[in-house]
Structure 1
Amino acid sequence: MEFFNSAVEKNTTFVRPAYFIISGFIGIPNISYYFVFLCFIYIISVVGNTLVMIIIILDHTLRSPKHIAVCHLAFTDLLSSSALVPKVLDIFLFKHYNISYNDCLTFMFFCFSFVSMQAFNLVVLSFDRVMAIIFPLHYQMRVSHKLILSLIAFFWLLAITLTLIAVGLLTRISFCKSVVIQSYYCDHGPVFRLGCNDVNPSRSFADLALVLVPLLIFWLPLTIVLISYVYIGYALAKVATVQERMKGFKTCTAHLSLVAIYFIPVLITFTLGADLDPNARTFLCPLSFLQS
């Protein structure tokens, strides 16, 4: 964190709460019953993703670059659900709405890294489909295991770097008013908005990160995927017969399903998060709860 420490004067004192309160689920009746549903979904996710990875690893016929990307997508989905679900289950079952300052930032780092990597992994799969449909004769030569693994490694580095910058900048902001996070988890934007309105270099960097991070880890991958399918649609439109067009489109249905499964819930989460009233259920933090 030396980079962030050097962004402000050494004598700057940051006020940090002992804990935050996650308010998205407060007031929902019979919230304990949601535990059964979420636990069932989590078990299905773990079992399903594990089976996908085992099948691809053990079956020697599934060693193509595409299946490597699919296996890695299952792995990142397993990581992201394991980072997000335990705290939500804790809220549903025990109504522990509070989370410590350090735990919140740690949760944010891992959750955002894994979730953003899922989006980037869908970009890798869209690249594979573009090459397979637009350049079918050169696919085997251009798309190799090394290329796919290099893309995955690059996107891991990008996801971790972006998340580390976003979360690290939050450590350079003081929290001296409310400790209530207007979201369903430790989300970067709602936590950022709890900071004091002091004007300093760290705040300016954090303002920029608040805009750029969602743009880079969500909207950029979605835009690339959509553009790739515009090219695919254009290429299929030039195919002579309807049967050949449908055959080419069917090779993309699995990927399109994964894109919908990932991006639609994220869009819904953003929409529901935006509907949370920032003035509702406001808990002012007593000075005894704050620590420098």
Structure 2
Amino acid sequence: MRGANQSSVCEFLLLGLSQQPWQQQQLLFLLFLGMYLATVLGNLLILLAISLNARLHRPMYFFLSNLSFVDMCFSSTTVPKMLANHVLGRHTISFSGCLTQMYFLFTFVDMDTFLLAVMAYDRFVAVCRPLHYSAKMTHPLCVLLVTGSWVIANSNVLLHTLLMARLSFCGDNAIRHFFCDVSPLLKLSCSDTYLNEVMIQTEGALVTITPFVCILVSYILITRAVLSVSSARGRWKVFSTCGSHLAVVSLFCGTIIAVYFSPFSSHSAETDIAAAVMFTVVTPMLNPFIYSLRNQDIKGALRKVVAMTFSSPL
């Protein structure tokens, strides 16, 4: 057999919803469609509100707008393909399409993690070093942090995509998932996947876990600073906001760590799919609500966007 993967398997079957009874498929289709529309609408409103309001052209909202953009792209790499497969009754994806989907999906996963870490650092400086905030969080630094995140994310995912592209696939081509994920692809390969697994457990773990640790450290330092505040109302406001942020971060990073950094032999399709739904669909939908509904500036800007939309002449 030649070294090229395409010589044995030219396409994969994304079983996704097709494994469920027909009535459950219909319910899941409507559920995923509703969550996807909510994700796109929520994040699009955040982008519009920030771009149209000059008062929100500050570091915190610059990072939030980038997070909203990434979340829209994040969900769009998997959910529309799954919904289209269900409507058309086709479940195939080409080998190159599979690798492309995997590349963009995990680029946005890494970007989400990096942006959450950068936002946590921004809040740390704002709460713990308020007098130095303007001097530290300059516009060039903010651009550098986002640009550096894109460079690292793309470099990391390109490495794993190239390692996946060198594998051979023969025989079974059915992926028990709704997108091209690393774990089921490695199980289908008839090549030696040891290098892939080692790189995921080492380099991949370092890229994913490091931002999570930075987020935890930032919020621990924020908590210590807030405890010294004499105002009980001020403490409760910060704790409630930080608590909701940490809940989303823990949900997002926890499911990723559980799926991709545990032994691959211990994975079950059902568990992986449930965890994947949490970080590919649920978290991008929750982010605009968690990071915005407690923010008076964002709520005011959103009201203006909605008012402009309904007051504009047809």
Please give the range of the TM-score, normalised by the shorter of the 2 chains: 0.7 to 0.9
Is the aligned partner of 1:226 residue 2:190? no
Match of 1:28 in 2: 20
Please give the per-residue CA displacement for 1:41-63, whole angstroms capped at 9, x wherever unaligned. 22222121111111111101001
Contact 2:78/2:178, CA 8 A, preserved across alignment: no
Amino acid across the alignment from 1:82? S
CA distance in 1, matches of 2:180, 2:187: 12
1:99 deviates by 1.4
Structure 1 residues 212 and 32, CA gap change in structure 2 (3 angstroms): farther
Contact 1:188/1:210, CA 8 A, preserved across alignment: no
CA distance in 2, matches of 1:241, 1:42: 40
Structure 1 residues 92 and 29, CA gap change in structure 2 (3 angstroms): same
Contact 2:169/2:191, CA 8 A, preserved across alignment: no
Amino acid across the alignment from 2:208? F
Amino acid across the alignment from 1:21? L
Structure 1 residues 98 and 12, CA gap change in structure 2 (3 angstroms): closer
Amino acid across the alignment from 1:27? Q
1:214 deviates by 4.4
1:260 deviates by 5.3
Match of 2:92 in 1: 98
Amino acid across the alignment from 2:267? A
Q: Alignment partner of 1:133: what SS?
A: helix
Counting only pairs closer than 5 Å after superposition, residues 132-281 of structure 1 correspond to structure 2 as 132-198=126-192, 203-212=193-202, 214-250=204-240, 252=242, 255-256=245-246, 258-259=248-249, 262-263=252-253, 266=256, 274-276=267-269
Q: Which 10-residue stretch deviates more, 204-213 or 146-155?
A: 204-213
Match of 1:42 in 2: 36
Match of 2:4 in 1: 14
CA distance in 1, matches of 2:122, 2:240: 14
Structure 1 residues 37 and 124, CA gap change in structure 2 (3 angstroms): same
Q: Percent identity?
A: 29
Contact 1:32/1:93, CA 8 A, preserved across alignment: no
Q: Which 10-residue stretch deviates more, 71-80 or 256-265?
A: 256-265
Is the aligned partner of 1:125 residue 2:115? no
Structure 1 residues 32 and 214, CA gap change in structure 2 (3 angstroms): farther
CA distance in 2, matches of 1:48, 1:68: 16
Amino acid across the alignment from 2:220? V
Amino acid across the alignment from 1:128? D
Match of 1:65 in 2: 59
RMSD, aligned α-carbons: 2.9
**Any unmatched runs of 5+ in structure 2?**
272-314
CA distance in 1, matches of 2:122, 2:70: 18
Is the aligned partner of 1:108 residue 2:98? no
CA distance in 1, matches of 2:259, 2:46: 26
Contact 2:47/2:69, CA 8 A, preserved across alignment: yes
Contact 1:126/1:255, CA 8 A, preserved across alignment: no
| More helix per residue | 2
Contact 2:50/2:57, CA 8 A, preserved across alignment: yes
**Any unmatched runs of 5+ in structure 1?**
1-10, 279-292
Q: Which 10-residue stretch deviates more, 204-213 or 138-147?
A: 204-213
Amino acid across the alignment from 1:22? L
1:152 deviates by 0.7
Please give the per-residue CA displacement for 1:102-153, whole angstroms capped at 9, x wherever unaligned. 1100111111111221111101100101111111221121111221111110
Contact 2:5/2:165, CA 8 A, preserved across alignment: no
CA distance in 2, matches of 1:258, 1:266: 12
Q: Alignment partner of 1:21: what SS?
A: strand
* TM-score, reference length from structure 2: 0.74
Contact 2:67/2:112, CA 8 A, preserved across alignment: yes
Structure 1 residues 269 and 35, CA gap change in structure 2 (3 angstroms): farther
Q: Alignment partner of 2:93: what SS?
A: strand
Q: Which 10-residue stretch deviates more, 33-42 or 147-156?
A: 33-42
1:269 deviates by 7.2
Q: Alignment partner of 1:184: what SS?
A: coil
Structure 1 residues 269 and 210, CA gap change in structure 2 (3 angstroms): closer
Match of 1:79 in 2: 73
Amino acid across the alignment from 1:233? T
* TM-score, reference length from structure 1: 0.79
Structure 1 residues 260 and 251, CA gap change in structure 2 (3 angstroms): same
Match of 1:3 in 2: none
Q: Alignment partner of 2:140: what SS?
A: helix
